[in-house]
């Protein structure tokens, strides 16, 4: 059985395209204050975004795809948390070896399996651009030091550009009680993360 997706991007994301040729944004970012976020900008200028202050910019080493991964700090040094929230960006250029196009990416990530809950794919229009969103709940194994299985919910926002497609997302550990009280705030930060996103490809 498939579950109807909660729309990941609120109506407040719909805003005008930035008045800069070739640069787009998903809306006006709002982290509460400028001091509440840091700015990430790739040296090649492909994209830039803001992410929550105190989160670690942790480059993923398993892919050559232009990307950025921002990881929340653990609740405490003594925590046995197997997974922490993270926000991420991936850009797949035309001709990349992993996915032919955004439709292929979505298809591969929404294949029904026994241990996955998968939402419907929802289409919304942002800045005169169609964006597709969906979520997946799946088991995740922690680090080699902590192999306790947890269930994570991954929110995906996928959209095409002239030269490929972007995937932005949030990974949320559903079973980690240490983060339960922060969910509303972090999801608000994810909304601001999406709004701050700009690209030039």
What pLDDT, on a 0 to 100 scale, did the predictor assign at position 149?
74
Q: What is the mean pLDDT of residues 28-50?
A: 76
Q: Is residue 61 part of a domain?
A: yes
Q: Is residue 107 part of a domain?
A: yes
Residue 80: phi, psi to the nearest 5? -100, 25
Q: Name the residue among 93, 170, 162 with its Cα closest to residue 134.
A: 170
Q: Is residue 4 part of a domain?
A: no
Q: Name the residue among 1, 171, 175 with its Cα closest to residue 86.
A: 171
Q: Is residue 25 part of a domain?
A: yes
Domains contained in the chain, number: 1
Sign of CA dihedral 73, 50, 160, 65: negative
Question: Under a CB-based contact definition with an 8 Å cutoff, are residues 26 and 48 in contact?
Answer: no
What residues does 117 pair with on adjacent strands? Answer: 137
Higher pLDDT, 99 or 127: 99
Q: How many residues does the chain have?
A: 201
Q: Is residue 96 part of a domain?
A: yes
Q: Is residue 2 part of a domain?
A: no
What pLDDT, on a 0 to 100 scale, did the predictor assign at position 107?
96
Task: Write out pLDDT tens, residues 69-123.
Answer: 999 987 765 455 557 899 999 999 999 999 999 999 999 999 988 889 999 999 9
Q: Which CATH number does the domain housing residue 188 bear?
A: 3.40.1000.10
Task: Write out pLDDT tens, residues 144-194.
Answer: 555 567 889 999 999 999 999 999 999 998 877 778 888 888 899 998 999
Q: What is the mean pLDDT of residues 2-13?
A: 35
Domain that holds residue 37: 11-199
pTM of the model: 0.77
Q: Is residue 159 part of a domain?
A: yes
């Amino acid at each position: 059985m498939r579950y109807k997706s909660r729309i990941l991007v609120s109506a407040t994301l719909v805003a005008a395209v930035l008045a800069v040729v070739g640069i787009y944004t998903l809306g006006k970012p709002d982290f509460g204050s400028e001091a509440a976020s840091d700015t990430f900008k790739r040296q090649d200028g492909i994209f830039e975004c803001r992410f929550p202050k105190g989160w670690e910019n942790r480059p993923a080493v398993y892919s050559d795809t232009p990307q950025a991964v921002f990881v929340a700090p653990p609740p405490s040094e003594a925590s046995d948390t197997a997974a922490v929230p993270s926000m991420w960006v991936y850009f797949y250029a035309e001709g990349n070896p992993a996915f032919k196009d955004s439709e292929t990416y979505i298809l591969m990530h929404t294949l029904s399996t026994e241990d996955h809950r998968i939402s419907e794919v929802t289409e919304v229009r942002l800045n005169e651009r169609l964006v597709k969103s969906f979520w997946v709940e799946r088991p995740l194994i922690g680090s080699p030091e902590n192999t306790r299985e947890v269930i994570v919910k991954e929110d995906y926002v996928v959209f095409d550009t002239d030269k490929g497609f972007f995937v932005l997302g949030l990974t949320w550990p559903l079973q980690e009680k240490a983060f339960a009280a922060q969910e509303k705030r972090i999801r608000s930060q994810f909304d601001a993360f999406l709004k701050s996103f700009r690209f030039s490809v």
